[in-house]
Amino acid sequence: MQNKPADRLPPLDLLASFEAAARHLSFTKAADERFVTQSAISRQMRALEDELGTALFRRQHRALALTAEGARLFAVCTAVLSQLRGVVRELRAPSQREVLALTTTPGLASFWLIPRLPGFTRAHPGIDVRLDATFEMRELSREGFDIAIRYARPEKVAGQALFGEKVLPVCSPKLLRQLPLAKPQDLAAHTLLQMELSVNGGMAVEWEPWLQAMGLANLEPTSRLSMSGYNEVVAAAVAGQGVALGRRPLVDELLREGRLVAPLPKTMATPRSYILVVDPAARARPAVRALEAWLLAQAAEERAAIKALRATTTLRPPPRKAVRRRTDE
């Protein structure tokens, strides 16, 4: 029987399934990703090992590990498949327009990124931006994303920090005219707006850390109103339904516009930041580098605006004007 050429490539489908199984170290998760059964992935891996004449996985009791040969193949597959997906994505772009895919949290997308994006698209008319607003931690290369802005602890994410986050109580000017909020203790007379605790890693806006920092761990408000998303929390605050913990810089524009005020301007830093992450393979594209540079420039402007806002008194509500009654004498 004729020997197979040593450099003959295995079928691409087998390599794609191997990359998924090696990344997850699970045939079951790889099967879900590839839309096949677990037994089909198992058969494909056996076929690939037979094709290469070497074991790629160590099959242990309820565990899967790569052999040294498997680790070598996984490193190459990851890089090559990433480049291949990038080229395919470019070839499929309609009318030769370049499409950039960016993923970030719903809050940053709504309050910070979307209002600014028209400036980028006007400056780069041949580039379209596809925005994915989710709390899911997307895998950039595998899921076809070029850039992510992660909301995470800086020590846990490799990337460029855009800005940190600070929180402080915010409410509508209308609410402040109805109920005083001159000191933290006055929150006992208010409704506190908050997000429901998240089970998937999303933002959980909690009052307890801020109250503890103010020495008010036992404060009991009149009521609490919980919502599933931060957008809804901010909308309720603007509507005068209670006091929210404003996340700066997300609420800064609303503060500048006067739709929200911060009667207690002392902020508390949170351990998380917004971090820019660029897929290494995608950075080779000029359009991706342009979006990266634009985001960094926008973040620098935001940091400068935060300093300017902190130095002014616009966080405080404007004083109420005395109403002079006319009398007929």
Range from 134-138, 239-243, 248-252 that averages highest in pLDDT: 239-243
- Calculate helix-pair angle for 286-310, 114-123, nearest 10 degrees: 130
- Is residue 62's pLDDT more than 60? yes
Q: What is the mean pLDDT of residues 300-317?
A: 63
Tens of pLDDT, residues 170-204: 999 999 999 999 999 999 999 999 987 654 444 44
226: left (phi over 0), alpha (psi -120 to 50) or beta: beta
Is residue 56 within 8 A of residue 49, CB to CB? The reply is yes
119-158 as b/e: b if 16+ CB within 10 A: ebeeebeebbbeeebeeeebebbbebbbbbbbbbeeeebe
How many other CB atoms sit within 10 Å of the CB of residue 88?
Answer: 10
- Is residue 253's pLDDT more than 60? yes
How would residue 41 be classed by pLDDT, with cut points 50, 70 and 90? very high
Residue 66 in tokens? 């790569």
User: CA torsion, points 219, 208, 254, 318, in degrees to nearest 10?
Assistant: 30
- Is residue 1's pLDDT more than 50? no
Higher pLDDT, residue 170 or 306: 170
Residue 321 in tokens? 């004007």
What confidence score (pLDDT) does residue 63 get? 84
How would residue 45 be classed by pLDDT, with cut points 50, 70 and 90? very high
Domain map (residue ranges) of the chain: 12-92, 94-162+274-303, 164-270
Backbone angles phi, psi at 248, to 5 degrees: -90, 130
| Average pLDDT across the chain, whole number | 86
Tens of pLDDT, residues 136-166: 888 898 888 999 999 999 998 889 999 999 9
Whole-model pTM? 0.64
Distance CA 233, CA 229 (A): 7
Q: E-strand spans in the chain?
A: 57-60, 63-66, 98-104, 127-133, 147-152, 160-170, 191-195, 223-227, 243-248, 268-278
Q: Which CATH architecture has domain 164-270?
A: 3-Layer(aba) Sandwich (3.40)
- Is residue 309's pLDDT more than 90? no
Fold match between domain 12-92 and domain 164-270:
no
Is residue 222 within 8 A of residue 187, CB to CB? The reply is no
What confidence score (pLDDT) does residue 250 get? 92
Higher pLDDT, residue 326 or 54: 54
Q: E-strand spans in 24-139?
A: 57-60, 63-66, 98-104, 127-133
The residue with tokens 């005068």 is 240
Q: Which CATH architecture has domain 94-162+274-303?
A: 3-Layer(aba) Sandwich (3.40)
* CATH number listed for the domain at residues 12-92: 1.10.10.10
- Is residue 128's pLDDT more than 50? yes
Least confident stretch, 107-111, 138-142, 144-148, 272-276: 138-142
**In sequence order, what are the residues at sequence separation of 6 or more whose Cβ sits closer than 8 angstroms to the Cβ of residue 270?**
164, 165, 166, 167, 209, 247
What confidence score (pLDDT) does residue 242 get? 96
Least confident stretch, 139-143, 152-156, 290-294, 322-326: 322-326
